[in-house]
Amino acid sequence: MKTYFFVGKGGVGKTSISSAYAVGLAKKRIKTLIVSLDPAHNLGDALNMDVFGKIVKVSDFLDATEVNIDKKIVDYLSLMSEKMKNTYRYLSVLNIDRYFDILKNSPGIEEYVTLEAIKEFLQLDYDAIVFDTPPTGITLRVFAMPRISVIWTNSLIEMRRRILTKRQMVENVKGPIKDVINGEEVKIPSNEKEDPVMQELFSYKSDMIKLTERFSSLDNYVSIVTMAEELAFEESKRIRGALRENNIRLSSIYLNKYLEIENPPPELLGKIEEQKRVLEEMKKEFSNIEIKKIPLLRSSPRGIEALYQLYQNYISN
């Protein structure tokens, strides 16, 4: 499976470019899924159909969906709450649901659930998945999370090992540690293979390693969608830096909404000069990266045929 991420700040045209790219892949008979992770939910508008919260067949080789992040957060926290209740039955005195209710609005939960959604989609049977991403800050944190998560999971594993070692010391003196919960005698685990917490940590670490490898692989393509403006140019450099920190390859840059006008009115001369200047600076700064200009269109492309025209005219060549 090949994965394609289109990143950039809000309003630069990520949805149009990513959906056109997905349509182009599908026209080549590549089984493709396009996923919008952007809370703005513009993919359905681009495709002219409702794809919110469900995977919808768009054409013979193209499916699409917009992720309902709010529902994903609720579902994920409910699942984690049940896991915690089962794993820590002997701590039933804690009101776990109250803590998970607080987590719904905690910083970082959107990024974490977005990463979980990506992980789920990567398990599906497609030849290519195209991701229309949230604004830059969220996306870069999502890219960084697998690598960071491996580091802190290693710390949690070592903490858990110390706990299990102390339990084993107690068992050596007093025998198996047991508790009675709801009238049932429960053995408190003291070795890694029996300990559900340790097994959960090992499983999570394995998932994060796989995601780290996926993001760094040659089958993962990350493209910046931006505009030929000074501020956008600076952001593109920051994106490249963040990608390098996480060993993620930058594949291409799409300069969207580029003004190309013969005999422009005086009001636009400054903007056109800025665009030309930024384009030349970008070619120097990103000398090894393909940069594609996409002109400012009369109207935003909507529907399969309009998106395919965008792909043929400005993306595929």
The helix (run of H) or strand (run of E) holding residue 292 is strand 290-295
Kindly list the distances between the CA atom of residue 7 and the CA atoms of 144, 222, 262, 282, 302, in Å, as whole numbers in the listed order.
Answer: 14, 7, 31, 17, 20
Chain position carrying tokens 């949690």: 156
The SS3 of residue 99 is helix
Strand partners, 250: 222
Provide the residue range defining the domain that includes 224. Answer: 2-315
- What pLDDT is stored for residue 267 in this prediction? 86
Predicted pLDDT of residue 182: 65
Intervals of the chain under pLDDT 50: 93
Task: Copy the structure tokens of residue 124.
Answer: 């599906």
d(CA 129, CA 3): 5
3-state secondary structure of 315: helix
Task: Enter the DSSP assignment of 104.
Answer: T
* Residue 119 near residue 204, CB atoms below 8 Å: no
Report how far residue 174's alpha carbon sits from residue 153's, in angstroms, rounded to the nearest whole number.
31
What six digits make up the tokens of 116?
Answer: 């979980």
Taking only the tens place, the pLDDT of each residue in 81-103 is: 777 766 665 555 456 666 666 67
Q: Which residues pair with 152 in a beta bridge?
A: none
Following DSSP, what letter does each residue of 3-29 receive, concatenated? EEEEE--TTS-HHHHHHHHHHHHHHTT
pLDDT of residue 175: 81
Q: Give the pLDDT score at 183.
A: 67
CA 14/CA 33 separation, integer angstroms: 16
CATH number of residue 299's parent domain: 3.40.50.300
For residue 149, the model assigns a pLDDT of 94
Q: Which pair of structure tokens corresponds to residue 125? A: 């049977």
Tell me how many domains the chain contains.
1
Q: Where does the chain have alpha helices with state H?
A: 14-27, 43-47, 69-87, 96-103, 109-121, 136-174, 196-216, 230-245, 266-285, 304-310
> Would you state the structure tokens that stand for residue 154, as one six-digit string?
């290693």
Q: pTM above the 0.95 mark?
A: no
- Is 210 within 8 Å of 191 (Cβ atoms)? no
pLDDT for 314 equals 93
pLDDT digits (tens, 9 = 90+) for 159-183: 999 999 998 898 888 888 777 666 6
